[in-house]
Chains A and B, each alone.
Chain A
Amino acid sequence: MDQHSAMNGFLRDVERRALRIAEMSVGNRDDAMEIVQDSMMGLVRRYAGRPSGEWKPLFYRIMQSRINDFHRRRVVRMRVMAMLPRNPPEQGGMIADPMENATRGERENPLREMETEAATQAMIAAIERLPDRQKQTFMLRAWEGLSVADTAKAMGCSQGSVKTHYSRALKNLQRQLEDVKP
């Protein structure tokens, strides 16, 4: 398999999960799409020549940087907006509520979703309520299947931090889902 095909296969495999992870981090799909596209471009331009086994942590490292940039810009925008008179957030549309976006998206199989909707939503909402670092660690480890070492590379922190965030995320989810009772 040549490098172009290998990269195509890698991106095709990772793109939908990456979009979902970005979406849960920034709170809306359009910004998440931009971040994923930017991350794809960054990976291809700079690291396509590296061994394919390194692509995943590198891709998520780039994506994490873009997500951090996004949050920085949002904080700046919020500060500027706060200084402007008569410009409430709901009109500016910049303070997206992640919970509101949790179930956004057109449904393709309503009958099947009706059976599992409550349980799925409870879990998704619980993940979205995690603090950012815990959420990121949990999704990269539990869903994307990165090792502790690769998650540390992707997040730019130590392996010890990854273990701590992950353990806290699990405890946090346990606690949250304990409360989900009829």
Chain B
Amino acid sequence: MREVAGKGRLDEQEIEQLARQALQQSLAGMNAETRSRLNQARNQALAAQSRPAPWRGWVPVGAAACAALVFAITLPFGASQVAQYVDPGLIMPELVAEIGPAALEDTELLENLDMMLWLIEVENHAS
């Protein structure tokens, strides 16, 4: 990596290039144990690819049940009155599984629910 010090202000391309080099060099400090743990993590993940999650088959059933429940609750009261009492986790079980219950408190993530719901919809359509 080129010396950063004593050269005056770096332009943006130099910053990008130097950063890439520095970050890449920092990987050299990754020891054998860490690489081995990464290898194990990857193999475990790949093993999961060949065995579907046990809850997976129940997702369409669960989604239908949740939809029926929401409909049943909403019918007598109206959606706007009910919305404040319904836990988002009840109507978005896959989303909760995907991003974790705590993430539902994250306004930034909630702003992007469209993308998550779209992904779920495409995934369900494919399966």
Contacts and interface: CB of A to CB of B under 8 A. Distances in A.
Q: Is A bound to B?
A: yes
Interface size class of A (residues with CB under 8 A): 35 or more
A177 B29 CA distance: 22
B23 A124 contact: yes
B63 interface: no
B49 A119 contact: no
Interface in A111-149: 113, 116, 118-120, 122-124, 127, 138-139, 142-143
A44 interface: yes
SS class, residues of chain A in contact with chain B:
helix
Given A138-B19, A139-B23, A156-B108, A72 B102 contact: yes
B contacts with A: majority SS: helix
A76 B96 CA distance: 20
Contacts of B28: 107-109, 113
Interface residues of B, number: 54
B41 A37 contact: yes
30 contacts: A3-B49, A4-B49, A7-B46, A8-B42, A12-B42, A15-B42, A16-B35, A17-B23, A20-B27, A40-B42, A43-B45, A44-B46, A48-B49, A49-B123, A105-B30, A108-B28, A109-B28, A116-B25, A119-B2, A120-B25, A123-B22, A156-B109, A156-B115, A170-B15, A174-B9, A174-B10, A174-B12, A180-B5, A181-B6, A182-B6
Interface of B: 1-6, 8-10, 12, 15-16, 18-31, 34-35, 37-38, 41-42, 44-46, 48-50, 53, 98-100, 102-103, 105-106, 108-109, 111-112, 115, 119, 123, 126
Interface of A: 3-4, 7-8, 11-12, 15-17, 19-20, 29, 33, 36-37, 40-49, 62, 65-66, 68-69, 72-73, 103-109, 113, 116, 118-120, 122-124, 127, 138-139, 142-143, 153, 156-157, 170, 173-174, 177-178, 180-182
